[in-house]
Chains A and B, each alone.
Chain A
């Protein structure tokens, strides 16, 4: 039984009579207690996918079609009222910028209790106790003291812990972490990743981990999805992916970062640049940059198909 089942999700932006497909036919599922890695370069639609799952897409963007089945309910069919009960309670979210995601004029502890008071129908006192407990859980030595500090008194890593505290405050079954470590240093990054991994392991929570950094996914989670130009190009098991990636784009990505192990003189770069959503090529969206391009790739876009257990790829080579 999957916790989250996203099927054929389409989110588009409508600007000046133009339609831009930010998310185009994306399907994936997240089983209970697993981390699913969603990887891609900027503008590939990974954040839009997450926002669509949370139904936080703002106009001129709109979810055009698809299904997002979470704990047996289709989220896209819920009223806004019902959706508010899911957001923050059943699904928590950790954003990239811990600077701007916290309110600078409220104490960080209060920002954690706020979510608990709203969703769990408890009093201030009890919410505070739970918030202090959460602060301890996300690794603060003196939770009571931290409770009454303001965001500017904390470092980037500490702020990110507060955000994680808010995300898990109501005991969600799914946490969406959108580039949670991108703004942080290597050392702090490793602490935050350890923290997230432990939380998932300890509480049978599931997580969608969004990142542009493939190296992070090497040791994290079980399955990975590679996005490009709004599409899912490949889904694979993490350990298989790093040995034998399927899609030419995945191969290119891996060889362009595979620095520390190899001894080659040059990096094998992917030629060209990431296409703009308004000017997508015909056929396969990756074909202008693909070393294996065939005539059919220029004409018609391949569909994503299953090539092995848990392995999906959108490419004519398979």
Chain B
């Protein structure tokens, strides 16, 4: 088993003006020391609510944003200190699938051109063979050949997402990052796309990072789970370890909410954000020591958690 991706202590800070006319700036820690590893053929699900930093993490790994600290090693190479030319060549090994298939496909291009473009750009196939290759890719994502001449507006959301997935497969990547790939689809279509991801996983050796706020979906596609809250990893581990024996109060709350059991606790707004645990204000199991410092991520590779209540 080869390691595809290793992220160590990743940091990303955004500066935000305090108000429209203010010169003072607030610093927002979008990522605070996030680490994760991903092996060939494995899928890691990243869960958390909006603002937890899960999309920032995805964007930093692809270097769509420049992280402020930490290291990213992809296929054994240090991404952050790499000549531009080499990086460009390595980029075809990593692909992203976005949330909204309505805006991530070019509305003026036929499906054929959308999928053929990366094939020709990277010189993967000859111009002569490109049509066969495009057909093959469409078939792999469950679309018949009639789609080849269609425009995105002639297709439903689920069909468009299939095209986006097909496009990401064109360059035979080592890593696919899927950022909320089913959230904008109808419930009955979501299951189809989730099944497509499972097919790809079975058929190929591609490592996947599956970013989603929907635990039901993540549970289906992932081997490992990383739970993020306010830019930190609060719990991580093998899927069943995390789902069947969640340790962090935040993970427990998320799992209950996914079952339809909603917590009764309101956020304690009187608590001033200090140096303590980022989840303190909402935590059901908080103790005094949680206000003093941020709990470190402890445990084994199979299951780790950042919480003082877990010993």
Cα-based distance from A212 to B185 in the complex (angstroms): 11
Chain A residues with Cβ under 8 A from B262's Cβ? 189-190, 193-194, 219
CB contact between B264 and one of A194, A255, A269 (< 8 Å): that residue:
A194
Contact B186 A212 (CB under 8 A): yes
CB contact between A267 and one of B159, B195, B213, B269 (< 8 Å): that residue:
B195
Contact A259 B216 (CB under 8 A): yes
Chain A residues with Cβ under 8 A from B257's Cβ? 186-187, 189-190
Chain A residues with Cβ under 8 A from B255's Cβ? 260
Instruction: Name the CB-closest residue of A to B196.
Output: A269
Contact with A along B169-203 (1 / 0, CB 8 A): 00000000000000000111111101100100000
Contact A219 B195 (CB under 8 A): no
Q: Take A186-B254, A274-B186 as given contacts and tell me if A269 and B195 are in contact as well, using a CB distance cutoff of 8 Å.
A: yes
Cα-based distance from A187 to B158 in the complex (angstroms): 28
Q: How far is the CB of B270 from chain A (nearest CB, A)?
A: 8
**Is B258 in the interface zone, CB < 8 Å from A?**
yes
Cα-based distance from A193 to B261 in the complex (angstroms): 11
Contact B259 A215 (CB under 8 A): yes
Q: How far is the CB of B278 from chain A (nearest CB, A)?
A: 13
CB contact between A41 and one of B188, B198, B253, B282 (< 8 Å): that residue:
B188
**Is A103 in the interface zone, CB < 8 Å from B?**
no
Chain B residues with Cβ under 8 A from A266's Cβ? 195, 198
Q: Take A185-B50, A186-B257, A215-B258 as given contacts and tell me if A256 and B266 are in contact as well, using a CB distance cutoff of 8 Å.
A: no
Contact with A along B221-252 (1 / 0, CB 8 A): 00000000000000000000001000000000
Cα-based distance from A213 to B213 in the complex (angstroms): 14
Contact A187 B220 (CB under 8 A): no
**Is B293 in the interface zone, CB < 8 Å from A?**
no
| Band of interface residues on A | 35 or more
Contact B187 A253 (CB under 8 A): yes
Q: How far is the CB of A292 from chain B (nearest CB, A)?
A: 16
CB contact between A270 and one of B156, B188, B220, B260 (< 8 Å): that residue:
B188
Chain B residues with Cβ under 8 A from A261's Cβ? 259
**Is A191 in the interface zone, CB < 8 Å from B?**
yes
Q: How far is the CB of B250 from chain A (nearest CB, A)?
A: 9
**Is A139 in the interface zone, CB < 8 Å from B?**
yes
**Is B277 in the interface zone, CB < 8 Å from A?**
no
Contact with B along A235-273 (1 / 0, CB 8 A): 000000000000000001101110111000111111101
**Is A16 in the interface zone, CB < 8 Å from B?**
no
**Is A134 in the interface zone, CB < 8 Å from B?**
no
Chain A residues with Cβ under 8 A from B50's Cβ? 185
**Is B5 in the interface zone, CB < 8 Å from A?**
no
Smallest CB-CB A-B distances: 3 pairs = A259-B216, A190-B262, A218-B260
A-B pairs with beta carbons under 8 Å apart, 5 shown: A185-B49, A253-B188, A259-B220, A267-B191, A267-B220
